Structure 1
Amino acid sequence: MTGVVTRLATQLLSRERGMKTAWPADGIATRMTAARLITSVDDLWYPSTTRNGRRSYGCTGTDMTERDADRDRRVLDRLEALGRQGVVEAAGGVPETAPDPKSAFYAMVGYEVKPTRTVPRKAPDVRDRVDLVWHEEADRTGLFDEDGEFLLFFWIPGDPTGGWLRVRDPIGTRLPSRIAAATGNREFIAASLDGRHMCAVSVEEYDDWIITHSFETAR
């Protein structure tokens, strides 16, 4: 991986503007600065297609079993970390109304995406402001149900798969900061249980973006 990063740094760091980075096989494209691409090479995540309901790692037999076991351990670690921040897995499973994971992901990172609101990353109270603005938009779009439940896009670093997790947040404040504390990543995607609305945080070069999206016209 070090060699890849070195070559990317040599070729790309002279670029001042963001570039469009794509995974054609998955139909995904995202905007990304050269510096961000280089520092994210070992931790890029995106929803990947599974085959026959099973994860595809490009290996078989014992290797697959070991990878599944390792992934299961990391999933449990991530769920426990979220739980310590008050975000707990809810009963009932993911409803059929959940938006397509790829569509939600692209609604956050797509090249043409524009933020609903922004918070300058240099602001001294940037974390508090992101928390406040995100909750204002989540409330405006009706993200939470009456029990504080919603869908959280769930992934773990190094795993090419991802999908929705039905969670409950009884605390109701500072959710972006608590998710970041649990995952180590300030970016996340949340959606309403009815699959109509999404509210996400994307960390850009100069600002944190709060992105909202409605799936009503596509459903």
Structure 2
Amino acid sequence: MEPRREPSTGTPARELAPAGLATAAGYAAEGAPSYARAFQVVVNVEVEPRATVPRRAPEASARADRLWLEHARAAAVIDEEGCFLVRGADQDWVRVRLTARTALSAALPPNGGGMIIAMSPDGRRLCALTEEDEDYWIVVHDFHAHRASPADG
């Protein structure tokens, strides 16, 4: 019998408040990679972005938000209820829901170098919005597609 899991009752990390996400009832993925593991995937020197937006381009943050949403949906990071996992204030992951005012770029620090990692509710895929040098990067990763990698251990 599978052990009973308690619904996620945490809140997103404080720095995510400007992103306009709503905390959602439900379960965080049991056995999902830790936030630290997801962070390592995104900051890996070999990572290649799925898409980029020059930060100095007109409406760059809005374009980055649209691209992140497009890639997160295409990679099945966002479920049918508009929910996904983000870094929690008191735990690795907390379940959140998109709202009409969701803009992940609003939670990035003004001086650059920030990132927001969204994990699929099943803990298999991520889609991150990062700031790298002069660009916003959209990074997508499927943990199951990369199982053979020694770095996944």
Q: TM-score normalised by the shorter chain: which range applies?
A: 0.7 to 0.9
1:173-217 per-residue CA deviation (whole Å, 9 max, x = no partner) reads 653234449xx9852000100111100011111211110101113
Could you say which residue in structure 1 is the equivalent of 2:96? 167
User: How far does residue 152 in structure 1 lie from its aligned partner after superposition?
Assistant: 0.6
Number of equivalences:
135
Counterpart among 26, 31, 39 of residue 92 in structure 1: 26
Compute the RMSD of aligned alpha carbons. 3.0
The alpha-carbon distance between structure 1 residues 95 and 141, as it changes in their structure 2 partners (threshold 3 A), is same
2:52 maps to a residue whose letter is T
The alpha-carbon distance between structure 1 residues 101 and 77, as it changes in their structure 2 partners (threshold 3 A), is closer
- Name which of structure 1's ranges 98-107 and 195-204 shifts more when overlaid on structure 2: 98-107
Which secondary structure does the structure 1 equivalent of 2:104 belong to?
helix
Which structure ranks higher in relative contact order (CA pairs < 8 Å, sequence separation ≥ 6)? 2
CA contact (8 A) 1:131 1:177 kept: yes
Could you say which residue in structure 2 is the equivalent of 1:215? 143
Which secondary structure does the structure 2 equivalent of 1:216 belong to?
coil
TM-score by length of 1: 0.53
User: How far does residue 76 in structure 1 lie from its aligned partner after superposition?
Assistant: 8.7
Q: How does 1:84-123 map to 2 (within 5 A)?
A: 86-123=20-57
1:114-165 per-residue CA deviation (whole Å, 9 max, x = no partner) reads 111111122122111101111110111011112111101235xxxxx86211
Which secondary structure does the structure 2 equivalent of 1:189 belong to?
strand
CA contact (8 A) 1:190 1:198 kept: yes
The alpha-carbon distance between structure 1 residues 77 and 143, as it changes in their structure 2 partners (threshold 3 A), is closer
Counterpart check, 1:149 vs 2:83: yes
The alpha-carbon distance between structure 1 residues 195 and 120, as it changes in their structure 2 partners (threshold 3 A), is same
1:148 maps to a residue whose letter is G
Which secondary structure does the structure 1 equivalent of 2:29 belong to?
coil
The alpha-carbon distance between structure 1 residues 97 and 162, as it changes in their structure 2 partners (threshold 3 A), is closer
TM-score by length of 2: 0.73
If you compute each CA radius of gyration, which structure gives the higher value, 1 or 2?
1
Residue segments in structure 2 that go unaligned for 5+ positions in a row: 1-10
Distance 1:185 1:165 in 2: 23
Counterpart among 106, 109, 124 of residue 58 in structure 2: 124
Distance 1:85 1:137 in 2: 17
Distance 1:179 1:100 in 2: 21
CA contact (8 A) 1:88 1:169 kept: yes
The alpha-carbon distance between structure 1 residues 96 and 76, as it changes in their structure 2 partners (threshold 3 A), is closer
1:191 maps to a residue whose letter is M
CA contact (8 A) 1:132 1:174 kept: no
